[in-house]
Amino acid sequence: MIPMTITEKIMALNSGRDKVVPGQLVWVDVHSIMTMDYLGEQCFKQFRSLGVNEVFDKERVICVSDHLVPPPNEQFATMLNRWRQIVKEHEIAYFYDLGRQGIAHQIMVEQGHVLPGKVSIGTDSHANTYGAVGAVGNAIGVTDAAVAMATGKCWFRVPESVKFVIKGTWQPYVMAKDLSLHIMGMMHWNGHLIYKTLEFTGEAIEALDMAGRMTLCNMTVDLGAKNGIVAPDAVTQAYLSGVAKGDWEMIASDPDAHYDAVYEVDVTNVGPTVALPDKLDDTVPVEKVVGRKFNKAFVGTCTNGRVEDFAVMAEILEGKQIHRDVNMIVVPASQAVYLEALKRGYLQTLVEAGAAIDTPSCAACAGIHTGVAGDGDIVLSAGNRNMKGRMGSKNAQIYLTSPAVVAASAIRGEITDPRETGTY
């Protein structure tokens, strides 16, 4: 047998082959397909135009309302009504609509719709998040979704793999987001990662909880990569037990598998990190930007809207007040996250500190609703994208960073190193 990486093995296994090689185009069986409110209607329409009436498996086409809920205007309310109708017509088993909603990628992982050793796809770019459980997770367009809904299959170009070995120990208030931004700054948009699979390994990855793995895999798309993946281990098994919808396989790369490149990062030396406005790969250690003023703080999204993120924020903001010049919006990534953060008291701490909590959705992340940026706003965000206009106005600036940095900075109204707030 030729040695293979985890991604090659998953592609081979799910396409009925003994082996695959990078560059090969193969049709792969998909385990689950996600689509959501603003593209879903088009997916079903395309699907119907194939001359098929029933999806390949009603339990494996997952529908979510996340970008447009709750609808901020009449146009979106009407779109959502059509969306609900079409989901109902197709007797979709799992429909996470307002009331049971969440950001699709969070839902797919937390509800066990993505599994180790399988391939799952979604009509949104951050479907890479699914790599956190050892699945190949990929974003696809409406056409691919329609074909997959009909056939249960999707074509793929087998990607080349790049390995990131993450060593060392995580320092206090350093989060997976900081590592993502660090890698972003290290690799730049130099093209080395375009279309590649990024495989994260090493002791610091083994030490990472599922929330951190999701953050890390989530942002691989923003590096231009095809997908990111963490091999399943005991953390994965514990996370999936009781929620997994289906059986799975523990798959790992062969020790002598081929990688296009191997990079090593010692996380001991990674501190809180910030991406400067407009460019994701323009990242600096927080020390370099300490003292810069901002007026809006945003924590949520498929990157950093999880219980673990709110735990760190609550720890920092406990008994403190958010600066009067800062408006902070916090949006849990799903109803399950919302409920858990409520039960643990994190949201109470955040509200007492002066944060506004909103119902789970993509919120201002894509500039659609709930706290969009206006002219002159300077936003400190724990989201994933900061190009001009992303959160609304083109005349706003967006800094990206971790929930810990956002929380600590909100107290002072200027960018602050969370490792220092204890003494403040």
Partner 1 sequence: MAKITGKCWVASDYVMAYDIIIQRFWTSPIDKAENAKWVMAGVAEEFNRENGFVEGGFTFIVAAHNFAGGGKSIEHVVAGLMGAGIQAVFANSFSRLQFRNAINYGLPFITCRDLAKGCQTGDELEWDTESGTVLNLRTGEAFHSVPVAPFVADVAAEGGLMNFIRNKIADGSIHELH
Which of 99, 141, 376, 422 binds partner 1 (CB under 8 A)? It is: 141
Q: For the purposes of burial, counting CB atoms within 10 Å of the CB of 409, is it exposed (0-12), middle (13-18) or buried (19 or more)?
A: buried
- For partner 1, which stretch binds (CB under 8 A), given 97-105, 153-161, 297-305, 313-321? 153-161
User: Do the beta carbons of residue 390 and residue 398 sit within 8 Å?
Assistant: yes
* Nearest residue to 175 (alpha-carbon basis) of 424, 408, 411: 408
Give 3-state DSSP helix, strand, coil % of the chain, rounded to 5. 35, 20, 45
Integer Cα distance of 117 and 336 in angstroms: 25
138's enclosing H/E stretch is strand 136-139
Which of the residues 53 through 82 are near partner 1 (CB under 8 A)? 79
52 binds, options partner 1, ligand SF4, none, Cβ within 5 to 8 A by partner type: partner 1
User: Do the beta carbons of residue 396 and residue 390 sit within 8 Å?
Assistant: no
Nearer to ligand SF4, 103 or 341 (CB): 103
Tokens of 350: 């955040």
Which of 31, 226, 369, 412 binds partner 1 (CB under 8 A)? It is: 226
Determine if 384 is a binding residue for ligand SF4 (CB under 6 A): yes
Determine if 365 is a binding residue for ligand SF4 (CB under 6 A): yes
Q: For the purposes of burial, counting CB atoms within 10 Å of the CB of 342, is it exposed (0-12), middle (13-18) or buried (19 or more)?
A: middle
Residue 33 one-letter amino acid: I
103 binds, options ligand SF4, partner 1, none, Cβ within 5 to 8 A by partner type: ligand SF4
CA 303 to chain CA centroid, Å, is 4
State the minimum distance, in angstroms, from the CB of residue 222 to partner 1: 6
Nearer to partner 1, 154 or 336 (CB): 154
User: Do the beta carbons of residue 203 and residue 168 sit within 8 Å?
Assistant: yes
Determine if 390 is a binding residue for ligand SF4 (CB under 6 A): no
Integer Cα distance of 115 and 250 in angstroms: 10
Nearer to partner 1, 85 or 169 (CB): 85
Residues that bind partner 1 (CB under 8 A): 15-16, 25-27, 38, 42, 46, 49-52, 79, 123-125, 139-144, 146-147, 150-151, 153, 155, 157, 189, 191, 194-195, 221-222, 224, 226, 367, 385, 387, 389
Residues that bind ligand SF4 (CB under 6 A): 67, 103, 124, 126, 301-302, 362, 365-366, 384
